Amino acid sequence: VVVTSPLLQAVLDVLGTLVFAVSGGIVGVRKGLDVFGVLALAAATGLGGGFVRDLAIGAIPPAALDSVLLLGAAVTGGMLAFLLHVPIGRVERWVGMLDAVGLGLFAVVGAVKAADFGIDPAPAALLGMVSGVGGGVIRDVLAGRVPVVLRQEIYAIPALLGAALAVLAYETGTYGTATALAAVAAAATLRIVAMLRGWNAWHAPGTGRT
């Protein structure tokens, strides 16, 4: 078992938190929330997935409450969304791509953190997926809408892919900057291609949809 670089994990985690906090903040601005509401929704989005992961692996207290870097990233992302939502809104498609990168980052970081805590490979990959989609689920539940991960065709699958690749690298002793970024890129690419191509998954037979 390889010793994971704490610096690498921290950098990926901060980036993922920042990206997801921006996405949560944008939703908050569009719901008409004030600055504190926007920051709270951004923080819940950026930190929520990791919070659930840390409870599940017994990482007490959760990094979301214990890391100045993560808290700073969440607040920064929320303020960026609050101040710059107009220019950010003009590049909507780029926001979806950023979100795809955040999904990949969290899936990889979450899976490897779980493995570091002694979780077996398969549940570690599942926890990576939960880390990736959890923040968005919390954001959507708080904002009063059905979570994106339930509505959008190919969202949880890319997270599971990135998490599984990261666990594979971890277990084979090849986890490092190169393989971590490759796993993030695989997850983000699958998500982005699915988004750009409008890939649809099947609907249930007899519901009048295909």
- The binding site for its own copies (CB under 8 A) comprises 28-29, 31-38, 40-41, 51, 55-58, 60-62, 65-66, 68, 71, 82-83, 85-86, 114, 119-120, 122-123, 126-127, 130, 137, 141-147, 149-151, 153-157, 200-207, 209
Compare residues 80 and 97 and give the one whose CB is closer to its own copies: 80
Query: Rounded to an integer, what distance in angstroms lies between the CA atom of residue 159 and that of residue 82?
Result: 27
Compare residues 11 and 154 and give the one whose CB is closer to its own copies: 154
| Shortest Cβ 90–its own copies spacing (Å) | 11
Compare residues 120 and 177 and give the one whose CB is closer to its own copies: 120
| Shortest Cβ 73–its own copies spacing (Å) | 15
In 3D, which of 165, 174, 127, 180 has the Cα closest to residue 9? 180
Query: Rounded to an integer, what distance in angstroms lies between the CA atom of residue 105 and that of residue 112?
Result: 11
Compare residues 92 and 120 and give the one whose CB is closer to its own copies: 120
- In this structure, which long-range contacts are made by residues 59-65, counting pairs with CB atoms below 8 Å and at least 24 apart in sequence? 59/113, 59/117, 63/13
Distance of CA 84 to the CA centre of its chain: 21
In 3D, which of 135, 160, 164, 161 has the Cα closest to residue 148? 135
| Shortest Cβ 203–its own copies spacing (Å) | 5
| Shortest Cβ 177–its own copies spacing (Å) | 27
Residue type, 139: R
